[in-house]
Every structure is written in C-alpha cells, then in structure tokens.
Amino acid sequence: MKARYNIAPTQPIAAVRANENSGNRELAIFSWGLVPFWAKEPSIAHQLLNARSETAAVKPAFRGPMRHHRCLIPADGFYEWKAIGGQKQPYYIRRPDHEPFYFAGLFDHWGSPDGSEIESATILTTAANDFMTPIHKRMPVIIPESQYDRWLDPKVQQPAKLADLLRPAPEDFFIRKPVTPLVNSVRNDMPECIMPTVEPPSPPNQLGFGF
C-alpha cells in the first residue's frame, strides 16, 4: 500500500475490523467520514469525520456502530493546527519511537437506491491531555495494543464495557513538531509535508490555542 502523508476527508483509509462471520481480523478500506446506513445522501460524511466519544453511544449516527461496527485505524502520525498571529501553524504529531498506533474507529455500510455502496469510517475523539491542550481541546482516542481484541470483539455490544478505553493517551505517548504549510493543501501528499520547520514566535498576550 502506498504511503500517504496528507489524507483528506472522504478519501480512502485503511482499517482493521473483525470479520462478521469468522470474527478474525481483516484489513478493509473505508471512505473517511461516516455515512450512516440510514443517510439520504453520502454528503453527510463531511459532518461525521470524527465522533465525540462521550456521546457516541447515544447519537443516532454512531450508536449502532459503537455496538456492532468498531475498527482500528492505523497511522504513524497526524496533524493539528495552532493559531499563531492570525495564522494556523501545522504540527505533525507522532510517537517518539516512530512506531505506528491505532485510532479508535467506527464504520458503517450505506447503499443508495441506484445500487451504489459506500463503506465509511469515523475517528473517535476525547478531551485533550496536557500535551495536546496548547494546540487543541480535543484529540483522537488511541487504543492500546493490549486492548485491540476487546475493542474489536463483536460479542462486546454494550458501550459501557468499553468506556474505560475512551480516554486521552498518556502524556508521553506523542511528541510534536511544527511542519511546513504544504499540508494545508490537500493537493500535497508527499514526504515534505512532515518536514520540520521553525515555529513562529507567538505575539505578546497570545495564548496560542487552536480553538
């Protein structure tokens, strides 16, 4: 599979899920942005790129997938932006050892009257830890390796039994580096997107929060 450096909404993403028949893990390709099975139009995906873990068990778009359609979305980094002097500085966030990790994901299957089908996924988020707070108030949920089986287990259908997994990553799990603004354009999908750069200084009295 070709390496990606700047995946945009509705583009394909890889994910691991449990096979509905055997229960074995399998790799699947989803469109990023959930299209619930009951949606009238697939354009709803742009509104459902992420799912708040605190309410996913009760929201109409996510409560079914939380029970039956959970997945693990692999990555070796992600971007977040911080407002500095009226501009947004992108940061590349990864593990210190460069190893991959897995976002907590949900997926669904949508079919239109004309017969077309879409398998799509969303990433669960939670409140930011202290590491992430200077950049953003939210962060993706990371499932630890020891809990992969529990997260994917189709027999676990009560979200309350998974609530302990929907928490921020440990404070030392990630590091961040400011990167070039190449990532600000979805047309750029190249290794240069994660090239470190010098962080611009914050203006006086600026807190520097992304939102």
CATH classification at residue 124: 3.90.1680.10
Domain of residue 52, residue span: 12-76+99-169
Half-sphere exposure of 155 toward its Cβ, with a 13 Å CA cutoff? 5
Domain assignment present for residue 146? The answer is yes
> How much of the chain is helix, strand and coil, in % rounded to 5?
15, 35, 50
Residue 64 belongs to a domain = yes
What is the predicted pLDDT for the residue at 20?
86
- CA gap 179, 55 in Å, rounded: 33
Structural domain contains residue 145: yes
Report the side by side order of strands in the sheet with 175-178: 78-84, 87-94, 175-178
Measured CA to CA, the distance from residue 42 to residue 24 in angstroms comes to: 29
Residue 83 lies in a domain: no
Kindly report, residue by residue over 142-193, the tens digit of the pLDDT: 999 999 999 999 999 999 999 999 999 999 999 999 999 999 999 999 999 9
pTM comes to: 0.92
Is the Cα dihedral 95, 102, 63, 121 positive or negative?
positive
